[in-house]
């Protein structure tokens, strides 16, 4: 069955108390209409960050209650397609990103999107649409949509794109899935504080996985498996992301721990997703074909 969730159904925080926008079954198609991360408040270069209603920042469309999803399960979200609007926005300035100390004020830029190209001054850049925010409700409490964590949230990982499968650990009945914060293009790190922020539409298929157990998000994209961890420091996030991959593979194969770490060291990669959110997000990656040859399937 196909479901459509429009931008009237949105949240600004992940919470077990959020009322579901729709209930779906495992295997259903769900299309999410999304606002950009500023709730479409920036229309021109004259619209500055200082004038925004910050209570309207980082909306996520949803949440979606997935029938049959129970705590301890995993939601698998297949990103079937992403469509982005023809105008995006970027912003940077004082205190934003690693170079935020170089600026005194704030700067916004409108970026046109035409024929699958982002027009940045005289540069025509191939777009790679991706989902910045995707998550489920935590077991208790509230986590704003701008913060990443074990529930997902503002992961800002450029591999969450068309063809990807995102795996999120379920903490509450139904999961309460929501997503938003599309980027037409974003590099690892998102170092100015934004990618090309854009409204659009994401077509997904949502499944309940009873045969998986995860502590943190996992992504399979472009023939690569990524374990994602968000933490206060890059060191902490890297250590846990590598540890998550280690536990995942060790529970599914008979390779020795010593040889697995050696394998990680020659074909695995430690990578940065973003360094600008309240917590930083890193990922550890392994090729799908290597894992399959070890007898590991996802």
Task: Output the pLDDT for position 48.
Answer: 80
Query: Nearest 5 degrees, angle CA 33-CA 166-CA 290?
Result: 150
Q: What single-letter DSSP state applies at residue 240?
A: H
CATH number for the domain that contains residue 67: 2.60.120.580
Same domain, 110 and 34: yes
* Eight-class DSSP state of 59: -
Domain count, the chain: 2
Q: Which residues, 6+ apart, have CB-to-CB distance to 122 below 8 Å?
A: none
Of 210, 238, 262, the one marking the end of a domain is: 210
Range 120-125 average pLDDT: 98
- Statement to judge: residues 117 and 175 lie in one domain: yes
Boundary (domain end) residue, out of 210, 234, 249: 210
78 and 199 in a common domain: yes
- Do 76 and 192 fall into the same domain? yes
81-85, 93-97, 170-174, 281-285: range with lowest mean pLDDT: 93-97
* Chosen domain end from 187, 210, 233: 210
User: For residue 30, what are the β-bridge partners?
Assistant: 3, 204
Q: Which domain holds residue 248?
A: 220-294
Helix axes 234-250, 257-267, angle to 10 degrees: 120
In a shared domain, residues 111 and 194: yes
pLDDT above 90 (res 52):
no
Q: Is residue 215 part of a domain?
A: no
139: enclosing H helix or E strand: none
CA 170/CA 152 separation, integer angstroms: 10
> Does 81 share its domain with 226?
no
CA dihedral (243, 245, 251, 256) in degrees, to 10, reads -80
Report if residue 255 sits inside a domain: yes
pLDDT at 53 over 90: no
CATH of the domain at 282: 3.10.28.20
- Name residues whose C-beta falls within 8 Å of residue 195's C-beta, 6 or more positions apart in sequence: 90, 130, 132, 156, 183, 184, 185, 186, 187
Structure confidence at residue 54 (pLDDT):
84
Banded pLDDT at 139 (limits 50, 70, 90): very high
Within-domain flag for 232: yes
Shared-domain flag, residues 41 and 180: yes
Do residue 26 and residue 53 come from a single domain? yes
Instruction: Report if residue 20 sits inside a domain.
Output: yes
Q: State whether 71 and 182 are in the same domain.
A: yes
Q: Is position 44 within any domain?
A: yes
Whether residue 296 has pLDDT greater than 90 = yes
Is the peptide bond between 122 and the residue preceding it cis, with omega within 30 degrees of 0? Answer: no
pLDDT tens-place string over residues 82-109 = 999 999 999 999 999 999 999 999 999 9
Residues 254 and 283 in one domain: yes
15 and 112 co-located in one domain: yes
Mean pLDDT of 268-286: 98
The SS3 assignment for 293 reads: helix
Q: Do 202 and 224 share a domain, yes or no?
A: no
């Amino acid at each position: 069955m196909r479901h459509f969730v429009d931008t009237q159904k949105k949240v600004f925080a992940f919470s077990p108390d959020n009322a579901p926008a729709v209930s779906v079954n495992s295997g259903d198609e769900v299309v999410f209409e999304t606002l950009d991360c500023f709730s479409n408040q920036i229309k021109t270069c004259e619209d500055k960050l200082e004038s925004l209603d910050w209570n309207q920042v980082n909306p996520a469309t949803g949440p979606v209650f997935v029938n049959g999803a129970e705590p301890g399960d995993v939601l698998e979200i297949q990103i079937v397609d992403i469509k982005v609007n023809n105008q995006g926005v970027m912003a940077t300035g004082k205190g934003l990103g690693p170079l935020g100390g170089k600026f005194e004020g704030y700067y916004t830029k409108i970026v046109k999107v035409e024929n699958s190209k982002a027009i940045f001054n005289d540069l025509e850049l191939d777009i790679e649409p991706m989902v910045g925010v995707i998550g489920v409700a935590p077991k208790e409490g509230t986590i704003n949509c701008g913060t990443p964590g074990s529930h997902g949230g503002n992961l800002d990982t450029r591999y969450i794109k068309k063809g990807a499968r995102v795996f999120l650990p379920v903490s509450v009945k139904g999961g309460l899935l929501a997503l938003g914060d599309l980027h037409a293009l974003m590099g690892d790190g998102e170092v100015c504080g934004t990618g090309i922020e854009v409204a659009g539409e994401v077509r997904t298929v949502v499944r309940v996985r009873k045969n998986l157990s995860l502590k943190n998000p996992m992504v399979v994209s472009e023939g690569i498996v990524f374990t994602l961890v968000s933490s206060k420091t890059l060191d902490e996030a890297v250590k846990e992301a590598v540890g998550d991959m280690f536990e995942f593979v060790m529970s599914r194969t008979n390779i020795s721990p010593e040889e697995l770490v050696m394998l990680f060291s020659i074909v695995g990669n430690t990578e940065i997703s973003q360094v600008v959110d309240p917590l930083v997000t890193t990922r550890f990656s392994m090729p799908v074909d290597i894992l399959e040859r070890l007898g590991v399937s996802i």
